Amino acid sequence: MAKFFASKSPDISDREKRNMERARKIASQGMVLLANNGALPLAETGNIALFGNGGRKTVKGGTGSGDVNSRFVVNVEQGLEEAGFTVTTKGWLDRYDATVEEAKAAYGAQMKEAVEKTGAMPILYLFDHPFKEPPIPAVTEADCQSAASDTALFVLARNSGEGKDRRPVAGEYTLFPEEEEAIRTLRAHFGRLIIILNVGSVIDTGFLRRESRADAILLMSQAGNIGGYALTDVLTGKVTPSGKLTTTWAERYEDYPKAAAFSHMNGDVDDEYYEEGIYVGYRYFDTFNIAPAYPFGFGLSYTTFRTETEKVSADAENVSLTVKVTNTGDRHSGREVVQVYYSAPQGRLEKPYQELAAYAKTKDLAPGESQTLEISFPTGRMASYHEEQASWILEKGEYYIRVGNSSRNTAVAAAVVLDGEAVTEKLSNRLALDCQMDSLSAKEVAPYTYEGEQAQKDSAPRIPVSAGAVPCTEAVYRKENSQLPEADGRKLTMDDVRSGNAALDALTAQLTVEEMAELCVGTARGGMGGSSIIGAASAACPGAAGDTTSRMIEDRNIRNMILADGPAGLRLSRHFSVDRDGNLIPGSEDSSLAELGMLFAQREKPRIPEDAVTYYQYCTAIPIATLLAQTWDTDAIAEAGDIVGGEMEELGVTLWLAPGMNIHRNPLCGRNFEYYSEDPFVAGCCAAADTLGVQKHKGVGTTIKHFAFNNQEDNRMHVNAHIGERAIREIYLKCFEIAVKTAQPMSIMTSYNLINGTHTANSYDLLTAIAREEWGFEGIVMTDWGTTGSIEMNPGQKFKYGCSNAAGCIRAGNDLTMPGSQADVDEIVRSVGAKEGEVACPITLGDLQACAGRMLKVIAASSVYEDAKPYRG
């Protein structure tokens, strides 16, 4: 009989209340004040006029696997009312509600018709054809006059998600004409106009900056299910905004590198050429001297700060700074972020104008109060990857150390002078480029500069460092997976291994090929969740994304792990019922997908017996990853992870399919809200903190994803990303490397796409040579759902590039194919010991044993056993 961990009480629990309060505090720290002429904070409560599509229908987070089914969502209207404001524009908000409901009904009918006609799964229709919020109704003269307030808040919301990239069109990247007209009307009728951006990714702010004449613009982002309260904390000054952008907001979409060639923009979603190379985000804008609307690292406060670099020291191993920050305001306390950048010398390798090396955030400083921060980073962090040498190198010359509070507001504090070239790490060439591709060059370009920069360089203290003293490491690569010695003796169990009475290899060696194949393939046997056996004979968690096999529980006590989405909290069914024998009543659970997924199907509700038991598993929707990153506070991010880790322990989830940590390469990527930053150092630090927060709990772990180069959603399962090795290592893998080396996540999830002609799920270079042998990763690697073709995303459609192969996953070191299918198991079994030409991808018994052994190691350390300890790798 299945074991259920959920609560039998429908009442809101102390855990929910506690975690929502924690999420509220975290969310307020990541909101970014973009403009303010003194309108904020709001001096007093009273009447307030609320408009915009996010005023009542506030977006807590994006769609798809990034969604979370919380008990409720506190919108902006409710947040204002809780703080004592009277919202006087309910009539307008009601009109917009009616508009949305009408649009949803039409969308549901359209979806139902399309699904019945094509036979596609509803969730896949949602991915390809997401619901789009309709334009807002007009704001009339009567609406303004009846508001009885001098202050108007306009909440501009945007949503996006898995499976679809955004378009640079009205209602997505740009404003609807109706929104622009409404803002003009509000500006004409209200003394104070405040724009709130309830968006998960960059939008075009040209109209807001140039024409709206707004008194304040605040990036609320998407703050989870308690976001309305968190926003009001900032609006009223209960919390002083201290968030900073982790992505450059451009003046125009066209200002981003290779903007016209991204994803669908050039009509080719089969091949994506990363011709910009290392020039991503501020590295591009600063190097090519393109003025952004809001630079990387930017964010205002209700107070002002003075930042003074008191000391810089350096040697062959570390660069250290002592920085004093003082709150120079006289009314509000606040926090400041000190950002440390370096500018490397130009040599054989081109270098960006500057790159982030370290950062630190102050405590809450009262007016006049100071804090001295000690900030340091490894000298080797300033190295660049040289493809011909297959090494990370520090070239001879001056490395300028810059200190400031955004990429466009720094001052040179020192120059580290290296007397020769130093190699910091020796590797081997991997993930070879599969085509001829010209990368962007800045050789003939004058970079960004500012008045007095050269004088700062000339007067900066010089700190000599000997290249010969710089430490160097060298990766060791193994040849092949050796077959384990044949097992003999009594039948071993997981209890023998966990008690120390048997070696893990001995248990692995006793397993048959069929048993190991089952262990390395998820339990779904009917597509995405259809006819799956999630939780059978062990633990059950309705709404979870999948689980590992329970086939060997009875004879070997090898238990199954439960895996659950998504990046902003656990995505589970909120309630479900079981019969007197403990069996889940089909259809009793609510969908773990977004509510729109059920609009097309008016399914008949099942009969629930009188003696049935109903369970509840409400989870906390924490802020999206981008907002978390905007806190620039790893302690706050670790606390967000702690929230999720605690709920995993309570509800029986072993692996959280998060955090997402791909680079914000282009603002149109549909899943940017799930990711942290355009900067790999920020992204890596955030993912590490999130992981450490989760993995402080017994036997649960994160699954950092999508490994790697998942920077577009259109045709995501079949797109071939063509990227040079330097950009691969410096930009797109560096964040994963930091997370692995700092926090040892329990798992890594591969992406759908190909990298230079090979599916990431089948890439030995990526999964074994780089992740395990270069970085020392000790957990398991799993595929994303359906990468081997077990889920047919587009029935009958032909693609330039096909699917990955289940046996190829084993050969590459991809331990778990999800969600699983019988075809995956059969492919692995027939490929063991096969010869070239007999199967698509021959593998050895040693290959399969290596994957099975890693699966057993993680299962042994996981929460499926009551005495599990926090996972450390």
The reported pLDDT for the residue numbered 603 is: 57
Q: Which residues pair with 358 in a beta bridge?
A: 340
State how far the Cα of 747 lies from the Cα of 522, in Å rounded to an integer: 15
Two structure tokens written together for 622? 């924490």
> What is the 8-class DSSP label of residue 109?
H
Two structure tokens written together for 146? 């009846």
State how far the Cα of 11 lies from the Cα of 27, in Å rounded to an integer: 25
One-letter amino acid for residue 231 of the chain: L
Instruction: Find out whether 769 and 805 touch, Cβ atoms under 8 Å.
Output: no
Sequence-distant (≥ 6) Cβ neighbours of residue 37 within 8 angstroms: 215, 216
Sequence-distant (≥ 6) Cβ neighbours of residue 116 within 8 angstroms: none
Q: Which residues pair with 541 in a beta bridge?
A: none
595: left (phi over 0), alpha (psi -120 to 50) or beta: alpha
Sequence-distant (≥ 6) Cβ neighbours of residue 85 within 8 angstroms: 45, 46, 47, 48, 232
Two structure tokens written together for 606? 């099942």
Query: Count of alpha carbons within 13 Å of 95, Cβ hemisphere only?
Result: 13
Two structure tokens written together for 74? 């506190």
Instruction: Find out whether 624 and 61 touch, Cβ atoms under 8 Å.
Output: yes
The reported pLDDT for the residue numbered 488 is: 78
Two structure tokens written together for 46? 């009273």
Q: Which residue has the tokens 């009339």?
A: 140
Alpha helices in 204-253 (DSSP H): 206-210, 227-235
Two structure tokens written together for 228? 């309305």
Instruction: Find out whether 47 and 147 touch, Cβ atoms under 8 Å.
Output: yes
- CB atoms inside a 10 Å sphere around CB 314: 21
Instruction: Find out whether 801 and 762 touch, Cβ atoms under 8 Å.
Output: no
Two structure tokens written together for 816? 């778990």
Two structure tokens written together for 701? 């772990």
Alpha carbon 162 to chain centroid, angstroms: 12
Query: Count of alpha carbons within 13 Å of 278, Cβ hemisphere only?
Result: 21
Going by DSSP bridges, is the β-strand pair 192-198/151-157 parallel, antiparallel, or unpaired? parallel
The reported pLDDT for the residue numbered 582 is: 85
Sheet holding 271-273, edge to edge: 271-273, 720-722, 754-755, 758-759
3-state secondary structure 496-517: HHHCCCCCHHHHHHHCCHHHHH
Identify the H or E element spanning 210: helix 206-210
Average pLDDT of the chain, as a whole number? 94
Ranges under pLDDT 50 in the chain? 527-539, 595-602
Closest alpha carbon to 828 in 805, 855, 850, 812 = 805
Residue 143 falls in the annotated catalytic set: no
**pLDDT tens-digit readout, 816-829:** 999 999 999 999 99
- CB atoms inside a 10 Å sphere around CB 464: 11
State how far the Cα of 156 lies from the Cα of 150, in Å rounded to an integer: 19
One-letter amino acid for residue 772 of the chain: R
Instruction: Find out whether 133 and 176 touch, Cβ atoms under 8 Å.
Output: no
The 10 Å CB-count burial string (b at 16+, else e) for 13-36 is eebbeebbebbbebbbbbbbbbbb
Residue 566, preceding peptide bond in cis (omega within 30° of 0): yes
State how far the Cα of 457 lies from the Cα of 6, in Å rounded to an integer: 61
The reported pLDDT for the residue numbered 794 is: 63
Instruction: Find out whether 869 and 861 touch, Cβ atoms under 8 Å.
Output: yes
Which contacts (CB < 8 Å, 24+ apart) does range 805-809 have?
Answer: 805/759, 805/762, 805/840, 805/841, 806/521, 807/831, 807/839, 807/840, 807/841, 807/842, 807/843, 808/759, 808/761, 808/762, 808/840, 808/841, 809/520, 809/761, 809/762, 809/783
Closest alpha carbon to 543 in 577, 572, 583, 523 = 572
289: left (phi over 0), alpha (psi -120 to 50) or beta: left
3-state secondary structure 9-38: CCCCCHHHHHHHHHHHHHHHHCCEEEEECC
Backbone angles phi, psi at 764, to 5 degrees: -60, -40
Two structure tokens written together for 731? 């930009």
Backbone angles phi, psi at 569, to 5 degrees: 130, 180
Closest alpha carbon to 200 in 83, 54, 309 = 54
Closest alpha carbon to 214 in 36, 377, 386 = 36
One-letter amino acid for residue 490 of the chain: R
Alpha carbon 387 to chain centroid, angstroms: 28
Going by DSSP bridges, is the β-strand pair 355-361/337-343 parallel, antiparallel, or unpaired? antiparallel
Sequence-distant (≥ 6) Cβ neighbours of residue 169 within 8 angstroms: none
Going by DSSP bridges, is the β-strand pair 47-51/86-87 parallel, antiparallel, or unpaired? parallel
First to last CA, the chain: 31
The reported pLDDT for the residue numbered 591 is: 66
Burial of 320 from C-beta contacts in 10 A (0-12 / 13-18 / 19+): middle
765: left (phi over 0), alpha (psi -120 to 50) or beta: alpha
Rounded to 5°, angle at Cα 79 from 247 and 11: 110
- CB atoms inside a 10 Å sphere around CB 434: 15
The reported pLDDT for the residue numbered 536 is: 32
SS3 category, 836: strand
Closest alpha carbon to 65 in 786, 823, 815, 806 = 786
SS3 category, 339: strand
Which contacts (CB < 8 Å, 24+ apart) does range 307-310 have?
Answer: 307/336, 307/338, 307/403, 307/404, 307/405, 309/403, 309/411, 309/413, 309/414, 310/372
Instruction: Find out whether 440 and 398 touch, Cβ atoms under 8 Å.
Output: no
SS3 category, 371: strand
Identify the H or E element spanning 809: helix 806-812
**pLDDT tens-digit readout, 728-751:** 999 999 999 999 999 999 999 999
Closest alpha carbon to 198 in 329, 95, 58, 73 = 58
Backbone angles phi, psi at 707, to 5 degrees: -90, 100
> What is the 8-class DSSP label of residue 574?
S
**pLDDT tens-digit readout, 672-688:** 999 999 999 999 999 99
Backbone angles phi, psi at 273, to 5 degrees: -100, 115
Of the candidates 679, 690, 784, 824, the residue annotated as catalytic is: 784
